[in-house]
Amino acid sequence: MAKVVIPFGPQHPVLPEPIQLKLVCEDEKVLEVVPNIGYVHRGIEKGAEIKDFQQTVHMIERICGICSFIHGMTYCQGIEDLLGLKIPRRAEFLRVTWAEMSRLHSHLLWIGLLADAVGFESLFMQCWKIREIVLDLLEMTTGHRVIQSASVVGGVRRDIDPNQVAQIRAALDQIKKGIDEILPVLLNDYTLKARTVGKGVLTQQQAISLGAVGPTARGSNVRQDMRLLKYAAYDAIDFEPILETAGDSYARALVRTKETYQSINMILKALELMPAGPIQVHPEGWPQGETTQRVEQPRGEVFYYFKGNGTRYLERLKIRTPTFANIPTLLVMIPGCTLADVPVITLSIDPCISCTER
Amino acid sequence: MAQMLPTVLKNLFSKPATRKYPFEKRAAFKGSRGQIKFDQTKCDHCGDCQRLCPSGAIEIDEANNKLTYDPFRCIYCWVCVEHCLQKAISAEEQYHAPAYTKTKETHTPAKTKNNV
Whether residue A10 is preceded by a cis peptide bond, meaning omega within 30 degrees of 0, is yes
Q: Which of A59, A128, A149, A156 to mutate to test the interface with B (most CBs of B within 10 A)?
A: A149
Closest CB to B1: pick one of A59, A149, A191: A191
Pair type for strands B66-69 and B58-61 = antiparallel
Dihedrals phi, psi of A234, to nearest 5 degrees = -70, -15
Does residue B111 register a pLDDT over 80? no
Asked if residues A71 and A302 have their Cβ atoms less than 8 Å apart, the reply is yes
CA-to-CA distance for A22 and A36, rounded, in angstroms?
8
Whether B54 sits inside 8 A of A158 (CB atoms) is: no
pLDDT of residue A99: 92
Asked if residues A212 and A329 have their Cβ atoms less than 8 Å apart, the reply is yes
In Å, how far are B39, B61, B104, B115 from B65, measured between CA atoms? 14, 6, 16, 12
Closest CB to B29: pick one of A54, A56, A140: A140
Judged by DSSP in three states, A154 sits in coil
Whether A58 sits inside 8 A of B3 (CB atoms) is: no
Whether A126 sits inside 8 A of B55 (CB atoms) is: no
Asked if residues A120 and A189 have their Cβ atoms less than 8 Å apart, the reply is yes
ipTM comes to: 0.81
Q: Which of B5, B7, B74 to mutate to test the interface with A (most CBs of A within 10 A)?
A: B7
Does residue B94 register a pLDDT over 70? yes
Interface of B with A (CB under 8 A): 1, 3-4, 7-8, 11, 17, 29-33, 52-55, 75-79, 82
pLDDT of residue B116: 47
pLDDT of residue A339: 87
Judged by DSSP in three states, B60 sits in strand
Q: Which of B76, B79, B80, B96 to mutate to test the interface with A (most CBs of A within 10 A)?
A: B79
Instruction: Domain A39-357: give its CATH code.
Output: 1.10.645.10
Closest CB to A185: pick one of B3, B30, B82: B3
In terms of Cα–Cα distance, which of A315, A302, A335, A324 is closest to A19?
A324
Does residue B1 register a pLDDT over 70? no
Q: Which chain A residues in 261-290 lie under 8 Å from chain B, judged by CB atoms?
A: none
CA-to-CA distance for B97 and B21, rounded, in angstroms?
13
Where do the structural domains in chain A lie, given as residue ranges?
A: 39-357
Q: Which residues contact A308 (CB under 8 A, 6 or more apart)?
A: A53, A79, A82, A286, A287, A288, A289, A290, A314, A315
Does residue B27 register a pLDDT over 60? yes
In terms of Cα–Cα distance, which of A264, A249, A304, A228 is closest to A110?
A249
pLDDT-above-90 percentage for chain B: 0
CA-to-CA distance for A141 and A126, rounded, in angstroms?
24
Does residue B113 register a pLDDT over 80? no
Strand partners, A33: A23
Q: What chain B residue is nearest to A148 in terms of C-alpha separation? A: B77
Question: What's the distance, CA A120 to chain centroid?
Answer: 23
More confident position, B105 or A162? A162
Distance of residue B100 Cα from the nearest chain A Cα, in angstroms: 24
pLDDT along chain A (358 residues), means of 10: 84 81 88 88 88 89 88 91 89 92 92 87 88 90 88 88 90 91 84 85 90 90 88 87 89 91 91 88 87 91 90 89 90 88 88 85
Whether A129 sits inside 8 A of B78 (CB atoms) is: no
pLDDT tier, B112 (very low <50, low <70, confident <90, very high otherwise): low
Domains in chain B with CATH codes: 28-107 (3.30.70.3270)
pLDDT of residue A186: 81
**What angle separates helix B5-12 from helix A162-188, to the nearest 10 degrees?**
130
Distance of residue B18 Cα from the nearest chain A Cα, in angstroms: 9
pTM of the model as a whole: 0.89
Task: Give A245's DSSP letter.
Answer: S
Asked if residues A57 and A72 have their Cβ atoms less than 8 Å apart, the reply is yes
